[in-house]
Homo-oligomer: A and B are copies of this chain.
């Protein structure tokens, strides 16, 4: 059998990396950077812990890579909100549902870890600062302005509205609600009243 060519090797490498990152995201989100042991990631990914170090130089690097990817994805989601069909309020509702529904919780947890937890590498801290709220507000500003224009949502400083609203959504995601605990992720309708006032 001929040895695999460069491209194939590269592809295998990328798949492995993807596999590891997926495993790591889950574990980091649930247990935080300190609570996550390299062994757990290896186990979740179904490989030996030694092999992790062929793909990522260190736990920190792995964490940073994840944060980086997460921030970019979040940014994408916000951009898409502007391009969706429907009235502004319908699009805001859709965005709300995407954030709440989606398998996005691990992602929010990860960002939260990066923002607040201890032992987070400086570079990860820098990343969440760089991409953070301010840029999300910018992305959503046209949408919210249009909504105010049409009287669909309350008046007032739109930047403040957006960051307040996103903060509420973030907070809910970060709660990491489990089924039997009494905490309640509200319906989009309930949350939208903060904006619509009706």
Contacts and interface: CB of A to CB of B under 8 A. Distances in A.
Interface of A: 30-32, 34-35, 112, 115-119, 129, 132-134, 137, 154, 160, 163-164, 166-168, 170-177, 181-187, 190-191, 193-194, 197-198
Closest 7 A/B residue pairs (Cβ)? A171-B171, A133-B182, A164-B186, A35-B118, A163-B184, A31-B118, A171-B172
A31 B35 CA distance: 11
A112 B175 CA distance: 7
Given A112-B175, A186-B194, 8 more contacts: A30-B118, A35-B119, A133-B181, A133-B182, A164-B184, A164-B187, A166-B183, A174-B174
A194 B165 CA distance: 12
Contacts of A164: 184, 186-187, 190
A118 B113 CA distance: 13
Nearest to A31: B118
A197 B192 CA distance: 10
Nearest to A176: B116
B198 A170 contact: no
A174 B116 CA distance: 10
A167 B185 CA distance: 7
B181 A129 contact: yes
B35 A117 contact: yes
Nearest to A186: B164
A113 B134 CA distance: 28
Contact of A181 (B115, B174, B197, B198): B115
Contact of A182 (B163, B172, B193): B163
A167 B163 contact: no
A127 to B, nearest CB: 13
A184 to B, nearest CB: 4
A119 B32 CA distance: 11
A174 B184 CA distance: 15
